[in-house]
Structure 1
């Protein structure tokens, strides 16, 4: 199985290596997660979007060859101007967005303006969806495995501040507790 895109020699590694991928994929399968979108996780993402006052919020699980937004709150599809429709996809490559960085770092990440950081400014979601600010926290289970991340994103630069970091961390802890309780009880989220 391949987990990381090939990197040309001498180029900045824009997507972090995913050394935990095999353990994560096994753990996600054991928990029955990262199979499909989940209405309960969509509701969670909607609540997070409201708390963060952001147009985008996600519950993202990092899977074998990409990412699955099992929970998603996003603006309705928009016209591209040439007759096409632009919609935030539930499955995306690992190099789209910032959640893989949160997982690799194993800690929260707040980007007030993604264009201020060369590593993040060229990310496809910046040009495609106009993402300008990001706030995310890892979903770390009781085994120490990073399953993915919860995040909020905005189309305008904004200071997330200490309150934003506290909120995203608390939401990640809340969701991880719900996931582990539902797995232990054999119940859906």
Structure 2
């Protein structure tokens, strides 16, 4: 973990150190992923949201300094959960800093992460996405290819606590494995991603 004295009260940044980031960035470049929206991955995120019943779903590729949602599902109508002092509400876009969210933890740990209520976990409750976007629950799994590289994650989240349970964990893990197989098939055969 890194300490940032510029943060209020000397708060710890909870983003884990990621020594594999340079290798990941090179691999994502070889695959042509991680820096642009992909309609096939958007469709994949749409299906993942439908299967899990989550309002938000992402296919997220994690770089050295940022995360990029090449696949993104947002609810048709997103009620403002957080209202800033100036009256505006944050909008989730395609890119977030590496210190936001839970996916960088999944990539570094190389394991699925289930947070049914982030407020139950002090380590995660202080993450900027909790305050900025009102995220309350998260379910994500790493995308680990046959080279052993953790490319990113597939994940779903909600603005309310969610009992994901064992079935949610199995769904997100199998979704990650399925997507990696499709990515590698595309690489080997030149087939469309989905």
Confirm or deny a common fold (TM above 0.5): yes
Note if contact 1:130-1:155 (Cα within 8 Å) is conserved in structure 2: yes
Q: CA deviation at 1:87?
A: 1.7
Contact 1:78 1:87 in 2 (8 A): no
Is 1:144 aligned with 2:148?
yes
What does residue 188 of structure 1 align with?
A: 192
Assess if the C-alpha contact under 8 Å between 2:100 and 2:128 holds in 1.
yes
CA distance in 2, matches of 1:157, 1:131: 9
Contact 2:13 2:99 in 1 (8 A): no
Instruction: Check if 1:42 corresponds to 2:38.
Output: no
CA deviation after TM superposition for structure 1 residue 83, in Å: 6.2
Alignment correspondent of 1:19: 19
Farther-moved stretch of structure 1 (75-84 vs 17-26): 75-84
Say if 2:4 and 2:13, in contact at 8 Å, map to a contact too: no
Q: Give 3-state SS (helix, strand or coil) of 1:60's partner.
A: strand
Aligned structure 1 segments of 4 or more residues deviating by more than 6 angstroms: none
Alignment-derived partner of residue 177 in structure 1 = 181
1:101 partnered with 2:105: yes
What SS class does the counterpart of residue 27 from structure 2 fall into? helix
The two structures have a TM-score, normalised by structure 2, of: 0.88
Unaligned runs of 5+ in 1: none
Aligned to 1:125: 129
Contact between 1:138 and 1:146, CA under 8 Å: does it hold in 2?
yes
The count of aligned residue pairs is 185
Asked if the contact 1:182/1:188 (under 8 Å) is kept, the reply is yes
Report the CA distance between 1:12 and its aligned residue: 3.8
Equivalence for 1:164: 168
Structure 2 spans left out of the alignment, 5+ residues:
none
Equivalent position SS for 1:134: strand
SS in 1 for 2:3: coil
Q: Is the contact between residue 25 and residue 63 of structure 1 (CA under 8 Å) also seen in structure 2?
A: yes
Shift of 1:115: 0.8
Equivalent in the alignment of 2:119: 115
1:132–1:85 CA distance, 2 compared to 1 (3 A): closer
Matched-pair contact (CA < 8 Å) for 1:78–1:85 = no
Specify the SS of the correspondent of 1:152. strand
**Residues 83 and 8 of structure 1: CA distance in aligned 2, closer, same or farther (over 3 Å):** closer
TM-score (norm 1): 0.90
Q: CA deviation at 1:64?
A: 2.8
